[in-house]
Structure 1
Amino acid sequence: MKPSRSEYLPVRGLRYHVRHWGREDAPKLFMLHGWMDVAASFQFVVDCLQQDWHVIAPDWRGYGLSQRSGSDSYWFADYLGDLDAILDHYAPGAPVNLLGHSMGGNVACMYAGVRPERIARLINLEGFGMPPTKPQQAPGRYAQWLDGLRQPPAMRSYAGPAEVMARLQKTNPRLTEERAAFLAQHWAAPNAAGRWEILGDPAHKLISPVLYHVDEAQACWEEIVAPVLWVEAADTDIWRWLGSKERARPEIDRRIATIAHVTTASIPDASHMLHHDQPQLLAECIEAFLLPH
């Protein structure tokens, strides 16, 4: 495995953990993890990259080794604000290569439309966006959020790393023993009682009271000027959030079509966690998109 190093950075009032791989003077590639994940999750892809890269991957607020917000909810706009500050710190004024997985892909796409001049090339790994909503859902959504505040969520604990590994492999049966063992050490840690807990703020499990507006997201996507590589896993089921597969595929294609300069790719024999399942194929896909430019 390629060695990584940790850095702690003040970002908008929180202590952020940022993981680095590669030489400081190598071309920069920023990687953004998804919901209930951590920056170390990209280790396997980084190991497969052939070019020398300085990979910079933060743990989002409330995940991994980054500080928790202490609030009742994590507003999506906060991720945009944090990313803006991180890019200003590591690449002030320079367009960057940006990759995001799942929630990180959604953040990356939104940001690339809001700050188009900051992105050189964008790679979206399974960042499809959330289901459409209607204004009529707002009262029920706020009520559901308020009900959640009365009984704050908690993270399940595990007896040790072996149970954490089993949990990871239950979610993704393709995960090998070796990779599960590595991820378990970064995805969870022992608490004061000796039980292992996921390194994520339980508040992330609260439903957001703010409805997802597809038209607003698309308005941002339409402003992206950088070339975009949209990567899906051949065996993903993440589309289920958008309904049946027959319904989801046209909706996903419609969203992709709002991006001006987009290339699509599919990674075979991979699930939503494609960076765990097929890191070699994904690394080849990433570098084929980035290297000629």
Structure 2
Amino acid sequence: MAAKSANLRTVRTSKSGSGTLFQGIVFTLLTLGGILFLIPFVWMILSAFKPESEVLRIPPTLLPETFTIDNFKNLFANMNFGVYLKNTLIIVLFSFLGLFLNAMAGFGFAKYKFKGRDKLFYLVLATMMIPGQVTMIPVYLILNSMELTNTLIGIVLPGLVGAFGIFLFRQFMSAIPDELLEATRLDGASEFRTFLQIVLPISKPILSVQAILTFIAGWNSFLWPLIIANDEKLYTLSVGLSLLKGQYSSNFALQMAGSSFMVVPILIIFAIFQKYIIDNYSISGMK
């Protein structure tokens, strides 16, 4: 028995050692992979603060020897990035309004019983199978007939509500106990107040995930504003960055500044809402 126990301990020790070695190898590989993925972003951000002569220097420098913000000043002084930023922020703001509408629709599908609810929900889901490129021309013709082309309303309106957002909110809100909502109604709260004070606070994880997706979609909006807008005063940052690449194709420092201006806010938003994303995954796992 003693020999058998010793053998079992030896086997367990060897398995534990091999498991630790495997974890160390995986951790090392993931760390190296993360560093490789970070190098282009770090290079882009640091190059945005270099003069053009230093960006083109061989051998290259990682940290800027001559720190300057002239590239960013040039973006707003000569490339109308102030106008592009204003238009992009307006689109993002209205996208968050659409996020609220998606949440209301998801709550309606999740907690209200009405005739044809499931069929209507399946119809909403069916729209997810239609590529956006297919609907661009019909939507453009509709907006053109309404004289909304070349306007910010025409840019914002088609993406205000989406089937994917409604689906996510509906799936999450279906898990909210009906007894909680009934108790709130018995206390005299209206349906809208119940939605604002009970449903939305409970839905913080999915709201955070959708907020990130909504911000990224609005911040990176490119194709539709380029199609619907003929006036440069209605262009977004993505369209402006494309114009920058075409007009200043040889000025790499200026392009790095424009790209950094596009990427850094997304990284900041993700860092702020990362906690809620992890909470959402945890809740999904418990279900």
Q: Shorter chain as normaliser: what TM range?
A: under 0.3
The structure, 1 or 2, with the larger RCO (C-alpha pairs under 8 Å, 6+ apart) is 2
* TM-score, length-scaled by structure 2: 0.21
Q: More strand by proportion, 1 or 2? A: 1
Q: More helix by proportion, 1 or 2? A: 2
Q: Rg: which structure is higher?
A: 2
* TM-score, length-scaled by structure 1: 0.21
